[in-house]
Amino acid sequence: MECKIEKKNFGIAEFKEEEFWLEKEHKDGWRLIKTNRAKYQFEKCDADQWVYQLDFKENGIAEEEYIQMFMDCGWEYVLKCGKWCYFRRKKEEGNDLSIFSDRFSKIDMYTRIIQSRHLRITIMLFVIGCLIQWLAIFTDTFKGDGFWDSAMPWIGCSFFVATSFSAQQYIKLKKMVEELKSPEEK
């Protein structure tokens, strides 16, 4: 069977974009078979329209029962990567094409993502970046070492960039929750 590997990066709050991208790949004849959320492995298949859905699975839920619940609703289990579970279903007229039954179940998933140490990681990255910058600028810790003397400020800056990206993902998730909590009346 013909396979291909695609490198793609999606932030923790960009799972909707990931779902749409996987649907496009399947429509182009490539079915997802494996991922580590940085590299995606696909195998050649018939070009068809499938819906992909991701769910953020909590620890403590029996995996067999969890997967069976989705399969009973017509979803095919694809794989699990970290806490993310991937499901797909052939697009058909008249079928509900979401694994979520209502906006409250979406809010629940978004909240699980937010509470999954994401904010703590953001704060930790910021503190490490501040510590490295402080050591590089105000102490002699890295002075005279040549490489480290010039590299440490840049390493500290890279932690600030990572903090910025992580904070943006956190803010995006919070906005998604707020939009679902107060839907605009049409």
**pLDDT score, position 145:** 60
Position 182 pLDDT exceeds 60: yes
Give me the DSSP letters along 142-161: TTT-THHHHHHHHHHHHHHH
Residue 186 pLDDT level (bands cut at 50, 70, 90): very low
pTM across the whole model: 0.80
**Strand 84-90 to strand 3-7: parallel, antiparallel, or no bridges (unpaired)?**
unpaired
88 and 51 Cβ atoms separated by less than 8 Å: yes
Report the mean per-residue pLDDT for the chain: 86
Residues 107-121 pLDDT 10s: 999 988 888 876 777
pLDDT at 90: 93
**How many Cα atoms sit within 13 Å of 98 on the Cβ side?**
7
pLDDT for 14 equals: 94
User: Measured between alpha carbons, how far is 17 from 22 in angstroms, rounded to an integer?
Assistant: 9
Is the per-residue pLDDT at 185 higher than 60? Answer: no
**DSSP letter, residue 67:** H
Question: pLDDT per residue over 160-172, tens digit each?
Answer: 888 888 888 888 9
Contact 145, 179 (CB under 8 A): no
pLDDT given at position 96: 62
Whether pLDDT at 5 is above 60: yes
Cα(102)–Cα(116) distance, rounded to whole angstroms? 22
What token pair was written down for 49? 């329209």
Over residues 134-163, mean pLDDT = 74
Alpha helical stretches, state H, 32-138 = 63-72, 103-114, 118-138
Per-residue model confidence (pLDDT) at position 81: 92
pLDDT in tens, 35-92: 998 999 999 999 999 999 999 987 777 888 999 999 998 899 999 998 899 999 998 8
157 has pLDDT over 90: no
Q: Which residue has the tokens 């790949």?
A: 25
